[in-house]
Amino acid sequence: MKFRKVLVSFCCVLSLMSVLKTFASKKQDPRPNILVILCDDLGYADVGFNGSPDIITPEMDKLAKNGVVFTSAYVAHSFCGPSRAALMTGRYPHQVGTPFNLHSNSSENDADNMGVPVKEMFMSEVLQKAGYYTSALGKWHLGAAPKFHPNKRGFDNFYGFLGGGHNYFPSVYQKQYANQVKSGVKVIRDYIQPLEHNNKEIKETEYITDALSREAVNDIHTACKKKKPFFMYLAYNAPHVPLEAKKEDMEVFSHIQDKNRRTYAGMVYAVDRGVGKIVAALKETKQLDNTVIIFLSDNGGNFDHGANNDPLKGTKGDSWEGGYRVPMFVHWPSKIKGGKQFDYPVSALDFYPTFVALANTKVPENKVLAGKNIMDAVLANTDVHKDEMLYSLRYRHGFSEVGARKGDWKVTRMGNEPWLLFNITKDKGEKQNLGGRYPERLKAMVKETENWTKTFIHPLWYYSAKDEELWEAGKMPQFEETFEVSKLIKKASKN
């Protein structure tokens, strides 16, 4: 009898433990969700939270107001593909062989070699292995061959397109695509090809920006049902060309006279509408408080196509500030009190180590990173990159353009002009060259930048046949000429 009572008691304990275990397994993982919202070619001054004079972005502004706005946020390159490769690998694109944009519609013979090397583990792979539900939505531009596909690079779900851009209205581009197929065109431009969902072509019916926002909302609900934290990489192609906006979005900006600017504004507004829907979905699923939302652009705005980078100098592709200094904010209600501004320099290279820390996991062994975990510094408002350089370098035909910042100071060399030195904190527009006044500072920063180039590897591809021809002939990158400063400081001293 006594034995039977003990047995019954033991069975009750086991049953209770089973119930508790089941309850625990259904409990939401406490680690934060991570949502990166990336725009394409968005100008520094083209969002309300950065003081846009003519474009309104009310949904983004709410998040920025209740989060931290970064006034000195940089990406690692002034062009789309290299910038995105840096974000995913945590390394400068020159260090992994990807300093050039992938060419659209590369031949099948080259496609298998044209993508970010698989040996460079993406941060999405680390987060996926750490138990995150991962999704990539929108523009990829990191390789189209099967081994480079998002589903092979750490993303459970992919909805979008693999190339460097896309037209926006399905009723238009689908007809163009069908006509080219019917005509027997063998190489059809990426911009009009069908979108895909996890390797399957799909027939989209919505304006592309709205479609990507819809898919983001769907993935938020999917992650909630899985009881897993999510990592979402939402890469809008707006406001990248072609300039195509919905009529109702353009009507919001009827006060803008220039048609390109008005269309561009409508494209940005469509992103903002989408952000509003995403926030609503996070609230509905009770995930907003524990979701880290980071918003930024992949590079500077293209002022030939409607963008405004004021007060910065330069445009997309430049090593002036306007080429790679971007609008950015972070929003995380459970940790960050709103209304803050972070003026110290940060880089998109910092995302990899920061996200790995947020996920409470580790950087893979032997994985080299160029950035730092910035979250503690952001919360404490301290300079995480004190005495460290942040770089940008673009290969040009016959020379290289360079920008490098350390603290308040920046050296810049554009084209065959002299090296210039700016107090970039006081002079965002790079108007007053101080190289002649502080020649030793200029020399030291140029030398440090030259040493950085010694970590580069040979490009895995070139954007054009001309680039390859010049490189093989020894006329690119011509670092000896690029980093010559002695004769150029004398010229600069006249300023």
Mind telling me the catalytic residues?
Answer: 80, 141
For 54, other C-beta atoms within 10 Å of its C-beta total 14
Strand 68-74, strand 340-342: pairing? parallel
Residues 6 or more apart whose Cβ sits within 8 Å of residue 56 = 48, 252, 269, 272
Q: Rounded to an integer, what is the distance from CA 180 to the centroid of its chain?
A: 32
Do 404 and 320 touch, CB atoms closer than 8 A?
Answer: no
Cα–Cα dist 96/457, whole Å: 7
Tell me the residue ranges of DSSP E strands in 12-94: 33-39, 68-74
Taking the CA atoms of 156, 161, 165 and 169 in sequence, report the sign of the dihedral they define.
negative
What is the CB-side half-sphere exposure of residue 112 using CA atoms within 13 A?
2
Tokens representing residue 143 in the block: 């390789």
Collapse the DSSP code of 74 into the 3-class scheme (helix H, G, I; strand E, B; otherwise coil) and give the result: strand
First to last CA, the chain: 101
